[in-house]
Amino acid sequence: MTTEICAYDAQLHFDSAVRHWAEINWGDGAEKEQVRLRRSWEVGSTIVGVIDGAAEALGHWVPGSVRHLDREVSMGAITAITTGPLARQHKFASRITARCLAEAANDGLATAGLGIFDQGFYDRMGFGMGSYDYVAVFDPAQLSVPTLDRTPVRLTVDDYEEVCAALHRRFRDHGSAVLDPPELVRAELALFDKPMGLGFRDGERLTHFLFMDTKGDYGPHSVNVYSYESRHQLVELLGLLKSFSDQTLAVRMLQPGGVQMQDFFDRPFRNAERTKGGQYACDISARAFWQLRMLDVAACVTNTPWRSEPTRFNVEVTDPVVVHLDGPWAGVGGSYVFEADDVLSVEHGRDGEVPTLRCSVNALTRWWMGVVPASGLALRPGFDADPELLTQLDHGLITPEPSRGWNF
């Protein structure tokens, strides 16, 4: 038996990669699925774990960025890590993830992000848990918004380039992500069983839209992709959903950043109790399904606004991914000095006269992104400093709750 990790070659690896995706129920191997996967794997970087010439594991990442307050920070978005049943004993998932991170770091990207199947595995790759995604399920008749007063335009998967451009122009909250290749949007929209795309244009420009995966006569329909350039346009999209209320009984939608969906519902508690346990139950749930990690500490932290008294402190960082690496990139572990005035600055080294924060890259990323304050992170292993420094970290870095706005 021969095994290796190498760059994906469509001619050599496509058929076996599709086969193991079907074996783990990530796809069905049908022609539509094959077209989608072929297009996806041809953009960004695709890495395969090969056993006797067949691709039995696969990793894929594309370049993008994440918004940190008012600044764009480059990001490698890992869109897939898969391991087929023949490959489970070869540690392909860890090794391929580490290879994706090393490639992104060597390309000069400052962070890496991904969605998770469960919490735990990617922690060993240095990823820190992101904030909660709030998912609202509601009867569109509940929506307390103005009635739609104009006709939307119809959108299809063929409009993917225009949709991708609109996603890049959209109203961006702290933590929001964008992925660069339009082909990824095409692949995502092709996942829908019964897609419905509707939107609005200003002249030739698509300004705001939503794509729903529709289900049955009455729903629940899932709004899986949407975009708007202003808060007023978000309200108009909700008005569009309200216009379906003569037939649709439930819509599922990821809550936009910076708003509370409950504000738009008429008598939300009454409707939740009335529909409890049914097929069209109204509710708002929260889970964290994404993770982020730094690939370059200085690139992330430098010029981050500081809201408290000037200070200086050491940061001793550990990076668990190092045990899975086999190339020149060695992770971000090491000693740093953070200087905090109006903004943060970073240099390598250590100052023996100032306090020290000892942390994992996982926890440092979560603090920097504002997922959990320093005092909260200190309740768990991986983030340790004296109480005075923790208080300074709590008061100095203040961000809104991060919100991705783009599932990947």
Query: Which CATH number characterizes residue 383's domain?
Result: 3.30.1050.10
Do 277 and 309 lie in one domain? The reply is: no
Other beta carbons within 10 angstroms of residue 151's beta carbon come to 8
Residue at which a domain ends, from 287, 309, 327: 287
Percent of the chain with pLDDT over 70: 100
Q: Which amino acid is at 143?
A: L
Interval 87-110 mean pLDDT: 96
pLDDT single digits (tens) 261-296: 999 999 988 888 888 888 988 999 999 999 999 999
Give the confidence band of 179 by pLDDT, cuts at 50, 70, 90. Answer: very high
Residue at which a domain ends, from 266, 287, 308: 287
What is the pLDDT, as a whole number, of residue 240? Answer: 97
Q: Name the domain count of the chain.
A: 3
How many distinct helices (H) and strands (E) make up the chain? 11, 20
What is the pLDDT, as a whole number, of residue 268? Answer: 86
Do 36 and 51 lie in one domain? The reply is: yes
Q: Tell me, what DSSP letter sits at residue 204?
A: T
* 257 within 8 A of 228, measured Cβ to Cβ: no
Using DSSP's 3-state secondary structure scheme, residue 271 falls into helix
Do 162 and 248 lie in one domain? The reply is: yes
* 51 within 8 A of 87, measured Cβ to Cβ: yes
Residue at which a domain ends, from 287, 310, 339: 287
Q: What is the CATH number of the domain that holds 81?
A: 3.40.630.30
Interval 193-220 mean pLDDT: 94
What is the pLDDT, as a whole number, of residue 325? Answer: 94
Check pLDDT > 80 for residue 305.
yes
Range of the domain at 35: 3-109
What pTM did the predictor assign?
0.94
Residue 407 lies in a domain: no
Residue 242 lies in a domain: yes
Using DSSP's 3-state secondary structure scheme, residue 407 falls into coil
Please, which residues have CB within 8 angstroms of residue 318's CB and are 6 or more apart in sequence?
333, 359, 360, 361, 382
Residue 127 lies in a domain: no
Do 282 and 331 lie in one domain? The reply is: no
What is the pLDDT, as a whole number, of residue 36? Answer: 87
Residue 114 lies in a domain: no
Residue 401 lies in a domain: no
* 237 within 8 A of 226, measured Cβ to Cβ: yes
Burial of 124 (0-12, 13-18, 19+ CB in 10 A): middle
In whole numbers, what is the pLDDT of the chain averaged over residues?
A: 95
Residue 81 lies in a domain: yes
